[in-house]
Structure 1
């Protein structure tokens, strides 16, 4: 089995975080979302634990998501909630076509770090699939991610992790950013003897 390494490198180097403010408002086809989820399911996973768990919000579900995270924020903010933060929690999701919650179902047969890495690899697979389809994504760990009481809403247990949300949308025509990275030379050490 062979693949075009130039195309693979091109796809990887053109994957970008594209933020909801740069989405056009067009809806991403559910078939693309399903392809993203199917490819996520093929991420590497030690002992085949497949710890990733996703909840997809679309259509009116996005409003439910926005309302839920705003409600959780108000409950945790005390007597003086930040009005700007509250506004952002309610408005940012509405710019998206779909939002996918990213959860990790904890399996104690492997180290936690390996489960976290497996979920991150699944998200990378989703992001690369989105890029190949001209769809923008942004993985955020904000919102209700660190609210322990929010886990139940995403069908996660106490030992599981809510690792954030993948915001998804069709980018405006001129909003696919050009990437830049520092040279790999200062990040790698070779030992040949």
Structure 2
């Protein structure tokens, strides 16, 4: 939470702060990974489940799309800046972060799993772990 509180100081147009987060804790990760992996073809599910279980935890970043193309671009830029802030702050504390944009972030079933609304987009999964 401390990292997010500092990371959200990223520049945003009109102070929209167009993001929200879903934290997948170590205790909930296995179940979450199984559900996300189920969105892949059967022959890839085991690989994807193992892949999503590798990090210690996951932070899913979701942004508001905005009312028009300009707001979408501004919101995406702000969200990317916030992710970079989070990444740099985490690395200072020896917490590894990797921003992943695997195919499942575009899958409607994953959006439903995360309660992503019509005016939102999954920007990525941040894989979190220790060096």
* Native 8 Å contact 2:13 2:74 kept in 1: yes
Structure 1 stretches of 4+ moved >4 Å: none
* Native 8 Å contact 1:104 1:162 kept in 2: yes
The C-alpha deviation readout for 1:58-92, integer Å capped at 9, x for no partner, is 1221112201111222xxx3xxx3x2x32221112
CA distance in structure 2 between the aligned counterparts of 1:111 and 1:101, rounded to whole angstroms:
21
Report how far residue 170 of structure 1 moved. 0.5
TM-score where L is the length of structure 2: 0.89
* Native 8 Å contact 1:62 1:98 kept in 2: yes
Gaps of 5+ in 2: none
* Native 8 Å contact 2:38 2:45 kept in 1: no
CA distance in structure 2 between the aligned counterparts of 1:132 and 1:90, rounded to whole angstroms:
29
The residue aligned with 1:166 is 126
Question: What secondary structure, in the 3-state scheme, does the structure 1 residue paired with 2:105 have?
Answer: coil
The residue aligned with 1:4 is none
The residue aligned with 2:19 is 52
CA distance in structure 1 between the aligned counterparts of 2:7 and 2:19, rounded to whole angstroms:
8
Higher-helix-fraction structure:
2
The C-alpha deviation readout for 1:78-125, integer Å capped at 9, x for no partner, is xxx3x2x32221112222111000111233275211100111011101
TM-score where L is the length of structure 1: 0.62
Gaps of 5+ in 1: 1-33, 172-193
* Native 8 Å contact 1:52 1:119 kept in 2: yes
Pair 1:90 & 2:34 matched = no
Report how far residue 147 of structure 1 moved. 0.5
Pair 1:38 & 2:5 matched = yes
Higher-strand-fraction structure:
2
**CA RMSD, aligned part only?**
1.6
CA distance in structure 2 between the aligned counterparts of 1:107 and 1:62, rounded to whole angstroms:
30
Larger radius of gyration: 1
Pair 1:133 & 2:77 matched = no
* Native 8 Å contact 1:102 1:166 kept in 2: yes
Q: What pairs up with 1:59-138 in 2 under 5 angstroms?
A: 59-73=26-40, 77=41, 81=42, 83=43, 85-108=44-67, 111-138=71-98
